[in-house]
Amino acid sequence: MRRIDPRLLLIAGAAFISVSAILFRLSGVSSGTAAFFRCALALPVLVPLALWERRRTGPRRRAGVDVIAGLLLGADFVLWGASIDGVGAGIATVLVNVQVAVVPLLAFAVFGERPSRAFAPAVPVLLAGVALAGGIAGHGTSGTDPVLGSLFGAGAGLAYGGYLFLTRLAGHGQEHRAQPVLLATLGAGAASLAIGGPWQGVDLAPGWPALGWLAVLAVTGQVCGWMLIGAALPRLGADVAGALLLLQPVLAVALGAVILGERPALAQLAGCGLVVTAIRLAGRGSVSPRDDSGMGPRARGDARTGERADRAEVP
């Protein structure tokens, strides 16, 4: 993958992830069932890849952080699936991208990384967009409960942001791709059982048609999507990566309309536009790519003094 333009890798990964909501709806199962099988059916692909990678590059350090990150990812899967039922596949994928605001806040709280100047003014725009997308100005026809669905989507975004933050922390200085996805998948599968089971139930025998859609979801969304995105992110600046990842919600809304016949209200579409705009502003330069010194503040140069901020060490 080193020979491929990382922008192409990220676009391909975002495209794979954007289909996840469509496949979940087509499977017709509960969010807990979809989250569990998304992880379980990915294991036959991930285990051989991780074993081959371990022989080539050695064992994964900070494996425990990957598993904890996976627990958050599992919570994201369950809440996101519930959001799809409430607000529709396309808009649910837009809402979960509020994680772009979560990651810089965690980086600031833990490592003192200051968000970009555009972050603060982007937050109210983001909240307004979430409210509109959630149906506060009138419900569309794409979901059963847009308001509740928007709350689930926001919760999924918080969990997703925590997953990305811990994955970024655990991946410092390491070249592994399959092992972190495998470990996170194990954690996500456990969380989907713990959360989705008591809440919505996990059907361990959903039937062959559903299993077929879930198998496609596991390969595309869980294996291909995360492997490609994980390979691209360390090689791209945060502003470029953030802009390209916005293809994910845009593609999800388009695919939801074309494949599932979802017809969001105009106010909800306007809310999606505000969310995408705010995400672009909030994510501009707010998180830096990893380097050899650790996950510290983004190197900032003052145009007049040329000073650079010190980088915080990873414990």
Domain assignment present for 309: no
Cβ contacts of 244 within 8 Å, gap of 6 or more: 7, 10, 11, 14, 236
Rounded Cα distance between 161 and 147, Å, is: 21
- With beta carbons less than 8 A apart as the criterion, state whether 257 and 86 touch: no
Q: What is the pLDDT of residues 79-104, one digit of tens each?
A: 988 888 888 877 887 888 787 778 77
Query: Half-sphere exposure of residue 298, counting CA atoms within 13 Å on the CB side?
Result: 20
Distance CA 140, CA 127 (A): 19
> Kind and range of the H or E element at 178?
helix 178-191
Between 48 and 231, where is the model more confident? Answer: 48
Q: What is the per-residue pLDDT for 284? A: 60
Q: Is residue 306 part of a domain?
A: no
In a domain, 53, yes or no: yes
* Max CA distance (Å), the chain: 65
* Predicted pLDDT of residue 299: 40
Residue 243 is predicted with a pLDDT of 65
DSSP labels, 231-275 = HHGGGS-HHHHHHHHTHHHHHHHHHHHHHS-----HHHHHHHHHH
Q: Decide if 125 contacts 277 (C-beta within 8 A).
A: yes
pLDDT given for residue 10 in this prediction: 86
Q: Retrieve residue 52's tokens.
A: 């081959």
Position 172 confidence tier, pLDDT thresholds 50, 70, 90: low
| pLDDT at residue number 301 | 41
How many structural domains are present in the chain?
1
Confidence tier at 67 by pLDDT (50, 70, 90): very high
The lowest-confidence range among 75-89, 170-184, 196-210, 280-294 is 280-294
Asked whether residue 295 carries a pLDDT value surpassing 70, the answer given is no
The verdict on residue 288 lying in a domain is: no
Does residue 148 lie within any of the structural domains?
yes
Task: Tell me what the mean pLDDT of segment 247-259 comes to.
Answer: 80
Q: Which of 181, 280, 180 is nearest to 239 (CA)?
A: 280
Q: What is the pLDDT of residue 114?
A: 75
Residue with the larger pLDDT of the pair 129 and 157: 157
Question: Residues 238-267: what's their mean pLDDT?
Answer: 76
DSSP state of 58: -
Residue 271 has pLDDT above 70, yes or no: yes
According to DSSP, the residues that pair with 294 across neighbouring strands are 291
CB proximity list for 313: less than 8 A, separation 6 or greater: 293, 294, 296
Q: Quick one: residue 275, left, alpha or beta (phi over 0 = left, psi -120 to 50 = alpha)?
A: alpha
301 within some domain? no
Q: How confident is the model at residue 238 (pLDDT cuts 50, 70, 90)?
A: low
Placement of tokens 């991930």 in the chain: 46
Residue among 153, 184, 34, 28 nearest 87 (CA): 153
Q: Picking from 86-90, 156-160, 168-172, 201-205, which range would have the lowest pLDDT averaged per residue?
A: 168-172
- Rounded Cα distance between 295 and 315, Å, is 10
Mean pLDDT of the chain: 80
Say what the pLDDT of residue 239 is.
55
Mean pLDDT along residues 101-120 = 78
| pLDDT over 60 at 294, yes or no | no
Q: What is the per-residue pLDDT for 142?
A: 58
Q: Which is more confident, 257 or 56?
A: 56
Whole-number pLDDT of residue 48: 96
| Residue-wise burial string across 55-94, b where 16 or more C-beta atoms lie within 10 A, e elsewhere | eeeeebebeebbbbbbbbbbbbbbbbbbbbbbbbbbbbbb
**Amino acid 136: pLDDT:** 61
Closest CA relative to residue 37, chosen from 228, 219, 199: 219
**Above 60 in pLDDT, residue 139?**
no
pLDDT at 263 over 50: yes
Nearest of 248, 285, 200 to residue 93 by alpha carbon: 248
The first and second tokens of residue 15, run together, are 């495209």
Residue 153 has pLDDT above 70, yes or no: yes
pLDDT at 175 over 80: no
User: With contact defined as beta carbons under 8 Å apart, do 39 and 78 qualify?
Assistant: no
Q: 205 is in which domain, residue-wise?
A: 6-283
Give pLDDT, residue 158. Answer: 92
**In terms of pTM, does the model score above 0.95?**
no
| Domain presence at residue 89 | yes
For residue 294, tell me if it sits in a domain.
no
By CB atoms closer than 10 A (0-12, 13-18, 19+), residue 111 is: middle
Mean pLDDT of 148-168: 88
